[in-house]
Structure 1
Amino acid sequence: MRFFRRCGKEPRNVIKVSYTKLASYTNNFSESNYIGRFQFGKLYRGVLSSPPWVTYILVKIWEVPEIYSYEPGDNEIRLMEEVVLLRNVPLISHPGMVPLYGYCHEGGHLAAVYEFKPFDSVVNLIPKDDFTWLQRIKVSLGLAALLKFMHAGNSSSFKPFIVHNLDAAHIILDEDYNPKLCDFGSVSGGIFNEGRDHGYTNVGTSGTGNCSNKEDVFAYGVILLSLISRRVHTEEDRKAGVPFIYEWAVNEYEAFECQNTKFSLVHKSLSEGGDFSHSDGYKITKLALECINGVEHERPTMEQVFRSLLELEVAKQHADFLGANDTREDGC
């Protein structure tokens, strides 16, 4: 898999899309099709006009990052390795993986094109009033199932993966609120058998940046905290020195610790919904805090996180909507 680094060859038998076509698919990268930023660029909705069929796509454009360490050729490597990754049939069989349509490598333009209908990113939806408790739990459960699957690996096809740069901006939902992981720019392990420099890790979502799947558990805990508290940490927050979400959560817990009541970080607007159980509020807060434990080996595995989510009252009462019945025995 390392030959891309050495000689820059591009993969065969994969659709190569011109930049002109990307522009036409996204209405010239219009503001109405813009979803948001990911770690290394921008995400857009798009449509392939092929009557009588219409194919919806997600277009991911790489750019030279402004705030992350970068060397010439880094984005080309990320793109080529992502193409290889998303052609691994046992891996992409998981419903949480995005199906690759093609890619663009034309001059200075780099892009991946995924074939599914994107609704919005998790980071955009977190603060919104109409992103319900049930929908947030569905995202939490689906993402946990995917990470459990990636961390376990496949004995016949690939070793366990570590995502490294797991972030709410890298999780895109379809119209049924099923989460799809759409950035693999720092993934290591799995089919990448040689050592890999996975590059920049966002300490705000991934903790220490150590090369362990417990780094992904930490990042998952941050996303879970964001989902239940309706809080996001913006670039403006970073510049202003506002505490990261995990720092805020720990501070809230330490301030509450001396009180003789159960602790919950679930936002009031979510706890007032008819599908919410107060016991779930305490349990899911405890689970999120366990994921961001500063002692890495004391964090749960994603298998344990997944099982804990299934024990929530909301998962028992709304198993069909959440897909909980499908994920219990799907091997992921």
Structure 2
Amino acid sequence: MGCFGCFAPEADEDLKPSKPDDSSGADARRKVAPDVANGYAHSFTFKDLSVATGYFNDANFIGEGGFGKVYKGKISGQMVAVKQLARDGVQGRNEFLVEVLMLTVLSHPNLVSLVGFCAQGDERLLVYEYMPFGSLESHLFGNLSSNFLCFLFVLANDVPLGKNPLDWNTRVRIAVGVAEGLSYLHNVADPPVIYRDMKAANILLGEDFSPKLSDFGLAKVGPVGDRTHVSTRVMGTYGYCAPDYVQSGKLTIKSDIYSLGVLLLELITGRRIYDASRPKPEQNLLTWSRPFLHDKRKFYRLADPALLGCYPPSALNQLVVISIMCLQDQPHVRPIVADVVIGLKHIASQPYAPERTPASMSSPANSGSPQLVRTPSRKRGGRRSAQYA
């Protein structure tokens, strides 16, 4: 693409923790105006977006994050999502500028599209295509339907009440799409882009559950030439950051691979990377899963109970192995994202295909009633017991 010439890092030096990470914002300020002038993103007035969202009516509120509140709206008949920067928010104007820059020059089916922005006075807003199914986080850790058989399974297997599970095939399809979006950033964008904020909350879903990476405020241009890393202040979400990045501040594309491994483990288990509502030994997903990750015979113990056993055992094992590879402590041991995509597509070629799919599962097409399947029992001795799934 050759579109980040003025955005590349100028020096490979460590930043002190107290020093603001302003390099991306400074370069963004030099680049945003030409891009916008060329029509890559529309500049809206604050009044335009106020009217579009019903003056930021609570009825149109759809979420909130580090950037600020998000509202749905309509502009020229097109549904959009409008993010309004909170003046006292965690993320600031540098992230706003970086995101405008990134999304005006990057384009891929698995990246969210930027419709436009507003930078009027003290107001900073971003306008995206509207993703009607919300975030992966809301579906993966969200509400369970009231289907009676699922309710019985909840009581018998400690599945959290109110959770609406994604079916296996949908989870794998989401994993493939996320990896393909990341592959575009690493292998097609020139120079490569390090996403740096991979997490379930930043994966948005279309009507057919097609995933798109969003929130590029923390993205960084990757190392170029002889450089092996970008030195920067450590930023990201707890649990998703690679240990080598946390310890050294040296950011590489392999940092994204570790975060992808965490996301894959969340898709497998239906558990958050950190969940304070669980018993203390289970609050950290990596700590809880470690005994199972080290023994192939226990891989099935990682499967989200809300899947009701509806998954191909061999494909589950393969997905666990890919997650383990991505989660290696040493970055040079982790795979490149292109190989991850190949592996995930191989898993997707082995879909779970029951005669009837549980109606409670979230998927683009779900119908029928639960089917009697057999899954490994959790009882000692590995006996197999019949369960409704």
Interval of TM-score (by shorter of Structure 1 and Structure 2): 0.7 to 0.9
Map residues 165-180 of structure 1 onto 2, 5 A cutoff: 165-180=197-212
- Contact kept, 8 Å, 2:72 with 2:81, in 1: the verdict is yes
| Cα drift, residue 44 of structure 1 | 3.0
* Matching residue of 2:341: 306
1:270 aligns with 2:340: no
- The number of aligned residues is 297
* Matching residue of 1:184: 216
| Cα drift, residue 65 of structure 1 | 6.3
SS of alignment partner, residue 186 of structure 1: coil
* Matching residue of 1:57: 80
Q: 1:227 & 1:32 partners in 2: Cα distance?
A: 31
* Matching residue of 1:98: 112
* Matching residue of 1:227: 267
Query: Unpaired runs of 5+ in structure 2?
Result: 1-5, 8-23, 142-162, 354-362, 365-389
Q: 2:281 & 2:88 partners in 1: Cα distance?
A: 21
- Contact kept, 8 Å, 1:121 with 1:170, in 2: the verdict is yes
Map residues 76-87 of structure 1 onto 2, 5 A cutoff: 76-87=93-104
Query: CA distance change for structure 1 residues 296 and 271 in 2, over 3 Å: closer, same or farther?
Result: farther
| Cα drift, residue 177 of structure 1 | 0.9
TM-score (norm 2): 0.66
- Contact kept, 8 Å, 2:281 with 2:288, in 1: the verdict is no
SS of alignment partner, residue 205 of structure 1: coil
Indicate the structure (1 or 2) with the bigger Cα radius of gyration: 2
1:299-327 per-residue CA deviation (whole Å, 9 max, x = no partner) reads 22211111111122x434589x99xxxxx
Query: Unpaired runs of 5+ in structure 1?
Result: 69-73, 323-332
* Matching residue of 1:147: 182
Q: 2:29 & 2:242 partners in 1: Cα distance?
A: 33
Q: Which AA in structure 2 matches 1:99?
A: S
| Cα drift, residue 179 of structure 1 | 1.0
1:285 aligns with 2:320: yes
1:121 aligns with 2:135: yes
Q: 2:26 & 2:176 partners in 1: Cα distance?
A: 36
Q: Which AA in structure 1 matches 2:53?
A: T
1:136 aligns with 2:171: yes
Q: 2:297 & 2:281 partners in 1: Cα distance?
A: 31
| Cα drift, residue 116 of structure 1 | 3.9
1:25-70 per-residue CA deviation (whole Å, 9 max, x = no partner) reads 233434454333344333333222x3xxx2011222233566x5xx
| Cα drift, residue 197 of structure 1 | 4.3
Q: Which AA in structure 2 matches 1:5?
A: A
1:315 aligns with 2:349: yes
Which of 47, 55, 66 aligns to 1:20? It is 47
* Matching residue of 1:5: 26
CA-atom RMSD in angstroms: 3.4
Q: Percent identity?
A: 26
Q: 2:172 & 2:80 partners in 1: Cα distance?
A: 25
* Matching residue of 1:112: 126
Runs of 4+ in 1 over 6 A off after TM superposition: 191-196
Q: 2:88 & 2:181 partners in 1: Cα distance?
A: 27
